[in-house]
Amino acid sequence: MSRAVDALLIFLAALSGAFYIYGLWDKPFIAFSSNILFPVYALVSAIFGFHVARKYGLRSLLGIVFFFLALGLLIWCIGEIVWSIYVLIYGIEIPFPSPADIFYIIGYSPLFMAFALFMRIFGWVFSERMIKIPSMASGLLILAAVSFIVVPEALTRSGNTIEAALAVAYPMLDAILVALAVIAFMVFWGGRLARGWLYILIGFALLGIVDIFYYYYDLLGLIWEGHPLEILWLISYLAMAKGFHDVWIGRE
């Protein structure tokens, strides 16, 4: 079963890579196909998360943690669907800001709730310096990148207050998620669940990186529907799906 899951995720990663490479020469193709891939990949990640939550059981605190992680991804999936509707049906190439952002922003809430519960479970570990320093450093690194890369462009180039606020907010929210994911990974460092949490951390880290550069380039007017940067978003969904799967495999 594990090999079949790995094969599926590798296939999806290769498929997205092939689509985006071909899309360099055929922008209408990638503009259409990318808006199909995003909701599907987000849903795949959410399904894996709900599967792990079901395996742990909602009477288990860790089961609730994974339920909230999956719920956040499911809400993001709805946001991806709304974005795709604006692109494919209404013909708006980059619907930013749009009602899709409502779901993207709301989706962070269950993710933060998941990590808040995680900290309640493993709070006795957090006083250790080896956990505090990497988590704070990773979060501060992203915040510094946002401050020096995105914020200046948001203040000078954006004529839309909401657009500027969102372009800054997304990477900052990601910075918090990355710091929290580092904590979760360090808690299980050296254990059987470490590999799964490493993939979840990679997923959130990729999300933070692409959010910084995507919205920076968007403020510069250098983004189009199907831009190669988008592949990092897709891989982040697959990395989290892999992480959810490996967490359960490590538990067995």
Q: What is the mean pLDDT of residues 27-31?
A: 94
User: Given this model, what pLDDT does residue 132 score?
Assistant: 57
47 pLDDT higher than 90: yes
* Long-range Cβ contacts of 75-81 (<8 Å, 24+ apart): 75/103, 75/106, 75/107, 75/110, 76/42, 76/103, 76/104, 76/107, 77/39, 77/42, 77/43, 77/46, 78/103, 79/103, 79/104, 79/107, 80/38, 80/39, 80/42, 81/39
153 pLDDT higher than 80: no
DSSP category for residue 148: I
pTM of this prediction?
A: 0.90
Contact call for residues 230 and 20 (beta carbons, < 8 A):
yes
User: Given this model, what pLDDT does residue 252 score?
Assistant: 56
Q: Is pLDDT larger for residue 207 or for residue 186?
A: 207
Say if residue 95 is preceded by a cis peptide, omega within 30 of 0. Answer: no
Question: Mean pLDDT of all residues in the chain?
Answer: 85
User: Given this model, what pLDDT does residue 237 score?
Assistant: 97
The percent of residues in the chain predicted with pLDDT above 70, rounded, is 84
User: Given this model, what pLDDT does residue 146 score?
Assistant: 59
Residue 175: band (very low, low, confident or very high) from pLDDT cuts 50, 70, 90: confident
User: Given this model, what pLDDT does residue 158 score?
Assistant: 61
Residues 3-16 have pLDDT tens digits of 889 999 999 999 99
Residue bearing tokens 């790995």: 6
Residues 86-130 have pLDDT tens digits of 999 999 988 988 999 999 999 999 999 998 898 887 766 655 545
Residues 128, 108, 236, CA angle at the centre, nearest 5°? 80
Q: How far apart are CA 203 and CA 14, in angstroms?
A: 17
Q: What is the mean pLDDT of residues 69-97?
A: 95
In the chain, where the domains are located: 2-251
Q: What is the mean pLDDT of residues 21-38?
A: 95
User: Given this model, what pLDDT does residue 121 score?
Assistant: 79
